């Protein structure tokens, strides 16, 4: 019994049962297969996270985002007064997280590729682009760069999904995809 010392003192010499060998083999093979699927997806899948990131200090990052916004702001959002930035397709686009907003609003074109830069000026935040459902961890002092291709026009919400204090649930940004 499991509560008493093994009756067979040489328990490690007992041969395995067929069913045990079978299940262990299947489980191991399944593990290898799942390992293979991740690599396979890196080679052929369309959704892989880049490893591109840089160390940057928050002020320097803020300057970059503001510079890009100054160049490409096309209008102001009526509701919030936040600038709507429409950078050229294929270019580097910038968004920052700070307590408690995502800044600015980005306007991108459907089917075009962009290099999206993300970083935080203060605490950790969570970039949760909905409803497409892309979720990234945003740190201060690290600038993350992901290449995205918006494939469907519409208005997207940028939810903060890393708890960042009392204003966390107000931290909603916007990303617009136009045809």
Partner 1 sequence: MSNMFRTCPDTGLKVHGPAEALIKANAVAAVVFLLIGGLFGLLVALTRWQAIHLLPADLFYLALTAHGADVLVFWMIFFEIALLYFASAVLLNCRLATPRIAWVAFALMLGGAVMANVAVLQGESSVMFTSYVPMKAAPHFYLGLILFAVGALVATAVFFGTLVIAKQEKTYTGSVPLVTFGAVTAAIIAVYTIASGAIILIPTFLWSLGLVGEIDTLTYRIVWWGFGHSSQQINVAAMVSVWYAIGALTVGSKPISEKVSRAAFLLYICFLLLASAHHLLVDPGISSEWKVFNTSYALFLAVLGSMIHGMSVPGAIEVAQRKNGFTQGLFGWLRKAPWGNPAFAGMFLSVILFGFLGGITGVIMGTEQLNIIIHNTLYVPGHFHGTVVAGSTLAFMAITYLIVPLIFRRELIFKRLAQWQPYLFGLGAMGISVFMMAAGTLGVSRRHWDMAFSDAPFAFDYPPAAFMMMGLNGIFAIIASIGGVAFIVIVVGSILFGKKRDEETARANPVVFQGGGATVSSHGAADEVKIPGTTILVAVFFLSFVLYYFVNWKYLSEVWPLS
Return the bridge partners of 114, or none.
Answer: 148
Sole residue written with tokens 């708890």: 163
DSSP code at position 22: H
Q: Does 179 bind partner 1 (CB under 8 A)?
A: no
Cα distance from N-terminal residue to C-terminal residue, the chain: 69
Q: Does 133 bind partner 1 (CB under 8 A)?
A: yes
Cα 16 to Cα 49, 88, 176: the distances in Å are 42, 65, 60
- How many residues make contact with partner 1 (CB under 8 A)? 91
Residue 25 site contact among partner 1, Cu ion, none (CB < 5 to 8 Å, cut-off depends on kind):
none
Q: Does 164 bind Cu ion (CB under 5 A)?
A: yes
DSSP code at position 140: B
DSSP secondary structure of 92-121: EEEEEEETTEEESEEEEETT--EEEEEEES
CB of 69 to partner 1, least distance (A): 16
Q: How far is Cα 157 from Cα 142, in angstroms, rounded to an integer?
A: 23
Residue 125 site contact among partner 1, Cu ion, none (CB < 5 to 8 Å, cut-off depends on kind):
Cu ion
Q: Does 158 bind Cu ion (CB under 5 A)?
A: no
Q: Which of 84, 85, 95, 171 is close enough to bind partner 1 by CB under 8 A?
A: 171
Q: Cβ contacts of residue 46 below 8 Å, gap of 6+?
A: none
Q: Does 121 bind Cu ion (CB under 5 A)?
A: no
* Residues between 32 and 51 that touch partner 1 (CB under 8 A): 32, 34-35, 37-39, 41-42, 45-51
* Residues between 68 and 97 that touch partner 1 (CB under 8 A): 77, 79-80, 82
CB of 71 to partner 1, least distance (A): 23
Q: Which of 87, 90, 91, 141 is close enough to bind partner 1 by CB under 8 A?
A: 141
Assigned token pair, 89: 């397709």
What is the contact surface with Cu ion in residues (CB under 5 A)? 125, 160, 164, 168, 171
């Amino acid at each position: 019994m499991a509560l008493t010392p093994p009756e067979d003192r040489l328990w490690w010499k007992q041969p395995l049962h067929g069913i045990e060998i079978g299940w262990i083999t299947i489980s191991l093979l399944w593990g290898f297969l799942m390992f293979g699927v991740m690599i396979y997806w890196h080679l052929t899948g369309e959704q892989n996270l880049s490893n591109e990131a840089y160390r940057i200090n928050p002020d320097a990052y803020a300057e970059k985002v503001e510079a890009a916004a100054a160049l490409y702001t096309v209008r102001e959002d009526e509701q919030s007064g936040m600038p709507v930035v429409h950078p050229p397709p294929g270019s580097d686009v910038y968004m920052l997280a700070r307590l408690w907003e995502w800044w600015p609003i980005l306007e991108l074109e459907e089917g075009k590729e962009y290099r999206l830069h993300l970083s935080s000026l203060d605490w950790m935040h969570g970039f949760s682009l909905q409803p497409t459902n892309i979720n990234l961890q945003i740190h201060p002092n690290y600038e993350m760069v992901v290449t995205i291709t918006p494939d469907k026009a519409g208005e997207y919400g940028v939810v903060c999904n890393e708890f960042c204090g009392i204003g966390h649930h107000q931290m909603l940004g916007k990303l617009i995809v136009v045809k």
